[in-house]
């Protein structure tokens, strides 16, 4: 049984303030826990309900946790529901460390830059899609939905543990000595994606806000604006879908 203060602390990890104060997040559900354990991420606590201990579908993850010498903290289903961000928790969760924002940045060759992507579902889908296509790094502006928001983590389906994720303003990024990337912006007013010469060794693909597009201060430094041609009557594509199409083309 968890004491009240510990329940309140774990519940706070679903808020920006709580994550910042504890420098940790709660990862919930069998699939996400398995992906996290396989990634060798820094794990602080392993929570599981007693009813899951004898369940066959949990045995692989439990054995994986034992191989990593993690102690299981057995809690009641009631306490699991209290600390969970979902209505029907699966009975298993990890508290894990999150990287510090001021860590040394090493820019990759292929980067997605998310500029004020406000919807957690869109951001999670972008992260998941980037991992699928083998993008090296995702950088988010500080006004994006938080990388570690619970909804972002669920939408990304474990992709957080398979790619380098950074929160950084683009102005800070281009001050890095090794910066020599071409900046490509997904735009409604660019050249056709089919006409774009993708033979660029180092690039940053900028995906803008769902309603307002790319921020004016970022638009000024874009080298190439590209547009996905459509033949239907819809005004625009969802940003995560558009990102997936462009990433597939560039890679």
pLDDT tens for 214-246 read 999 999 999 999 999 988 777 778 999 999 999
CA 184, CA 81: separation in Å to the nearest integer? 44
Q: Helices 120-133 and 239-250, interaxial angle, to 10°? A: 20
Domains of the chain, by residue range, sit at 4-97, 110-250
* Cα distance between residue 112 and residue 106, in whole Å: 14
Q: Could you read off the pLDDT of 40-71 as tens digits, one per residue?
A: 899 999 999 999 998 999 999 999 999 999 99
Where does the pLDDT of residue 102 fall: very low under 50, low under 70, confident under 90, or very high at 90 and above? low
Interatomic CA distance for residues 29 and 92, integer angstroms: 6
Q: Which residues contact 33 (CB under 8 A, 6 or more apart)?
A: 27, 61, 92, 93, 94
**Same-fold call for 4-97 versus 110-250:** no
**21: helix, strand or coil:** helix
Whether residue 173 has pLDDT greater than 70: yes
**4-97 classified as CATH 3.30.1330.30:** yes
Question: Is CATH 3.40.1280.10 the classification given to domain 110-250?
Answer: yes
Residue 28 has pLDDT above 90, yes or no: yes
């Amino acid at each position: 049984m968890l004491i009240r203060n510990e329940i309140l602390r774990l519940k706070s990890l679903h808020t920006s303030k709580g994550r910042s104060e504890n420098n940790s997040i709660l990862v919930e559900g069998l699939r996400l826990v398995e992906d996290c354990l396989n990634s060798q991420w820094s794990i602080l606590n392993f929570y599981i309900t007693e009813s899951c201990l004898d369940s066959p579908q949990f045995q692989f993850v439990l054995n994986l946790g034992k191989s990593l010498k993690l102690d299981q903290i057995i809690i009641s289903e009631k306490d699991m529901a209290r600390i969970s961000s979902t209505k029907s928790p699966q009975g298993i969760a990890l508290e894990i460390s999150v990287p510090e924002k001021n860590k040394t940045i090493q820019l990759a060759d292929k980067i997605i830059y998310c500029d004020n992507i406000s919807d957690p579902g869109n951001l999670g889908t972008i992260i998941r899609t980037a991992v699928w296509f083998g993008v090296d790094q995702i950088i988010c502006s500080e006004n994006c939905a938080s990388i570690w928001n619970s909804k972002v983590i669920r939408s990304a389906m474990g992709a957080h543990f398979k790619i380098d994720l950074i929160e950084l303003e683009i102005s800070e990024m281009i001050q890095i000595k090794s910066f020599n990337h071409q900046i490509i912006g997904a735009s409604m007013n660019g050249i056709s994606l089919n006409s774009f010469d993708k033979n660029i060794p180092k690039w940053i693909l900028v995906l803008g806000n769902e309603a307002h597009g790319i921020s004016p201060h970022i638009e000024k430094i874009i080298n190439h604006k590209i547009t996905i041609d459509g033949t239907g009557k819809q005004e625009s594509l969802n940003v995560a879908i558009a990102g997936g199409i462009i990433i597939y083309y560039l890679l």
